Structure 1
Amino acid sequence: MRTTVALLAVLLAAGCSATPPAGTDGDLADDWAVPGTPAPFRPQAGQCHEALTTNGALDDYRPVDCGELHVSETIRVGTPADAEVAPAPGTAGAKAAYRECSDAATDFLGGPLRGARIAVQVVWPTRAGWAGGARWFRCDVTTADLDGRSRVSRTGSLAGELAHASPLRLACFDPTVEGGTVTAMTAAPCNGAHRAEFAGLWTAPDISYSKLESDTELSAAGCRGVIARFAALPDDSDLQFRSGWISYNPTRPEWLSGERLVRCFIYFAERTFSRSLKGAGPGVLPVR
């Protein structure tokens, strides 16, 4: 027992030495880094994703390399105005975010977004994320059909895609029309047989979406003006006897976000062409 007590006294004395071990200063608190201020999750641009979404949750944030198969690509992360809840569709805040994303997409792609089979999606934090202080919106781009519905996986970034010839650019098509309704727009080479060609964009007035969808005369007048400029034709009452037209409106979510650009196509029910009709003039497109 005396031996044990003596050994314990030696150990305690060694541990309480006034001289710290070599290479230390004896202060246990002075070399710790100050913890950073906690911050809500914020996504990054330049990431690709396997799905397209309208709300981004941290638990579902699993970006993939853009060289792998993916559906969408984040090109920008913006900061909205602070509010108790994220902007609802159709509000000024939601429209401002869509405009910022559309402008960013045009710069990123190297050409007008609405002139290609590409769509932009604004992604907001979840309700829980917003309540926790998240204040961001993601600008994602994705390939899409003219209806804005089909989402096709791809590999590689879309950066600069429209700065050169691209299969995603709207050009010539061979449409399928049933009972006056276009059921399919199949892309075709402009030097091959086709009956429709992208002529340009018409800016629709700020009306209800149902009015836009139902007022075919309004769309006809808007697209005929676009077609006249595209094909170098007189924009008069005879234009309807030179060619037909097809229009594709923004989707309802795009319309609520402030998108007003309608895609216009010159169209022929029976005639086919194997050239572009840009600048064709009345000699190629006479009154019939």
Structure 2
Amino acid sequence: MRRTAVLLAVLLTAGCSGAPPDGTDGDLTDDWRLPASPAPFRPATGQCHETLAATAALDDYRPVDCAELHVSETFHVGTAADADVVPAAGSAGARAAFQECSERAAGFLGGPWRTARVAVQVVWPTKAGWSGGARWFRCDVTTADLDGQSRTSRTGSLAGELAGASALELGCFNPTVDGETVTTMRPVACDKPHRAEFAGLWQAPEITYAALESGTERSAAGCRSVIARFAKLPDDSDMQYRTGWISYNPTRTEWLSGERRVRCFVYFAKRTFTRSLKGAGSSMLPVD
């Protein structure tokens, strides 16, 4: 019993000595780190995706390497203004996001995306994600036809794609026309026989989309001026006798987002060329 008492006395004496164990400062609370506040999911740039959607949920976020087959590529992630709900199509918030994506796309691609067979789309968080505090918008780019509808899979990043010669750049075409409706525009090398060529972009006015679609006289005048500059022709009333024209409007979604650039093409119903008409002048395109 005496040995037990002595051992207990020694332990009590050590515990009350006031000296902390080696390697400690005696304070059990000052070195604990507070846990980080939970943050909403935010996607990353430089990621590619197998699909293209208007909204993206965390559960569906499965980016792939851009060297693999994919449909879209995220080149920028912006921060949206705070609001109660996800910005609706045509709202100031949605237009601001699209404008930021459109401007960033030019830098990413190396040239204006409206001059190529690509499309830019804003991808928003889901309603649930927005309610949870997500305030990002994703800027995705994808290959598309002239209507901005067809998305096809590809491999490799589009970074710098338009900085030099690119197969995606709008050039020469052989259109199929049914009455006054262009049903297809088949790309063709400009040194091969063709009847249409991309001439440039016309900035449409602030009108309704229905007015744009039905106002062919307005589009004709705008595109004829674009063609005149492209082919170095007098921009006067004789333009209607020198060439025809084809226009491709932005999609309805793009129009609601603030996109006003209309694609203009010089067009001939029967005459074909085996060279570009850029700078062709009046001698090659006389009044007919």
Instruction: Spell out, residue by residue over 1:109-167, the C-alpha distance to the aligned partner (whole angstroms, 9 max, x if none).
Output: 11011000111100111111111111111111111100000001111111100000000
> In the TM superposition, what is the alpha-carbon distance from 1:204 to its structure 2 partner?
0.5
> In the TM superposition, what is the alpha-carbon distance from 1:33 to its structure 2 partner?
3.0
SS at match of 1:219: helix
Instruction: Spell out, residue by residue over 1:186-237, the C-alpha distance to the aligned partner (whole angstroms, 9 max, x if none).
Output: 0000011110000000000110101100111111010000001001111122
Residue of structure 2 equivalent to 1:3: none
Report 1:174-253 matches (<5 A): 174-253=174-253
Give the aligned residue type for 1:66: C
Residue of structure 2 equivalent to 1:116: 116
RMSD: 2.2
Report 1:27-42 matches (<5 A): 29-42=29-42
How far apart are the structure 2 equivalents of 1:198 and 1:63?
34
Report 1:31-70 matches (<5 A): 31-70=31-70
Residue of structure 2 equivalent to 1:160: 160
SS at match of 1:164: coil
How far apart are the structure 2 equivalents of 1:102 and 1:47?
18
Give the aligned residue type for 2:67: G
Give the aligned residue type for 2:148: G
Give the aligned residue type for 1:178: D
Residue of structure 1 equivalent to 2:282: 282
How far apart are the structure 2 equivalents of 1:62 and 1:283?
57
> In the TM superposition, what is the alpha-carbon distance from 1:32 to its structure 2 partner?
3.8
Report 1:76-95 matches (<5 A): 76-95=76-95
How far apart are the structure 2 equivalents of 1:286 and 1:228?
12
Give the aligned residue type for 1:159: A
> What is the TM-score normalised by the length of structure 1?
0.91
Structure 2: gaps spanning 5 or more residues: none
Give the aligned residue type for 2:121: Q
How far apart are the structure 2 equivalents of 1:95 and 1:24?
58
SS at match of 1:37: coil
> In the TM superposition, what is the alpha-carbon distance from 1:56 to its structure 2 partner?
1.1
Structure 1: gaps spanning 5 or more residues: 1-5
Give the aligned residue type for 2:286: P
How far apart are the structure 1 equivalents of 2:184 and 2:53?
26
How far apart are the structure 1 equivalents of 2:29 and 2:58?
34
How far apart are the structure 2 equivalents of 1:140 and 1:230?
30
How far apart are the structure 1 equivalents of 2:211 and 2:25?
78
How far apart are the structure 2 equivalents of 1:29 and 1:37?
20
Instruction: Spell out, residue by residue over 1:61-114, the C-alpha distance to the aligned partner (whole angstroms, 9 max, x if none).
Output: 111111111111111111111111111111111111110000000011110110
Instruction: Spell out, residue by residue over 1:228-277, the C-alpha distance to the aligned partner (whole angstroms, 9 max, x if none).
Output: 10011111221111110000000000000000000000000000000000
SS at match of 2:254: helix
How far apart are the structure 2 equivalents of 1:173 and 1:32?
68
SS at match of 1:114: helix
How far apart are the structure 2 equivalents of 1:142 and 1:211?
28
> In the TM superposition, what is the alpha-carbon distance from 1:34 to its structure 2 partner?
2.1
Instruction: Spell out, residue by residue over 1:156-188, the C-alpha distance to the aligned partner (whole angstroms, 9 max, x if none).
Output: 111100000000000000111112211100000
Identity of aligned residues (%): 72
Give the aligned residue type for 2:217: E
How far apart are the structure 2 equivalents of 1:53 and 1:22?
59
Q: Which moved more, 1:163-172 or 1:21-30?
A: 21-30
How far apart are the structure 2 equivalents of 1:62 and 1:20?
51
Residue of structure 2 equivalent to 1:266: 266
How far apart are the structure 2 equivalents of 1:56 and 1:28?
44
> What is the TM-score normalised by the length of structure 2?
0.91
